[in-house]
Amino acid sequence: MTFNELLELDKQGGEKRLSSSPRKALPRPKAHKRPRTGTGAQEQETKVPQHRGVIAPALVEKLRKAVKQLGKEAATHRFTLEEKRKLADIIYTYARQGYRTSENELVRIGMNWLVEDYRENGKESVLHKVLKALKE
């Protein structure tokens, strides 16, 4: 079918057929089946936690207060070049949106969040899970 024929068909509301040949049915795609594992028991679906990624306003306020305090203790941290680039990208993105931030501020937000997550969740915290994975 040419472009002009398609335009003509569109103008007519799609009711008129341009060729007298009957329509051919397109083959239906086959349903994808997941392979079964174990003893043939039905696999359990992975469920995403209902509140995953939701940060409570109280936590945001706690982080804000912690980072708002002037940090006077000097510390040296070693980052990879890729980590430094990612921080620089975030700083640049926020600068374009009118937010002035720094590498130090971002790292302090992350560190305070990590500590709070560990206090609240213990062995279910991100810190514990990553440290455990590093030791395996």
Backbone angles phi, psi at 47, to 5 degrees: -105, 130
In a domain, 46, yes or no: no
Place of tokens 């109280």: 58
- Report yes or no on 117 lying in a domain: yes
Tokens matching residue 104: 């130090």
The tokens for 29 are 């795609």
Residue 20 has pLDDT above 80, yes or no: no
- Residue 6 is predicted with a pLDDT of 60
Residue 59 lies in a domain: no
Tell whether pTM > 0.85. Answer: no
Tell me whether residue 6 is in a domain.
Answer: no
Question: What is the number of domains present in the chain?
Answer: 1
Asked whether residue 4 is domain-assigned, the answer is no
Mean residue pLDDT across the chain: 78
Query: Within 10 Å of residue 63's Cβ, how many Cβ atoms?
Result: 19
- Residue 48: inside a domain, yes or no? no
Range of the domain at 88: 78-135
In terms of Cα–Cα distance, which of 60, 52, 51, 49 is closest to 116? 60
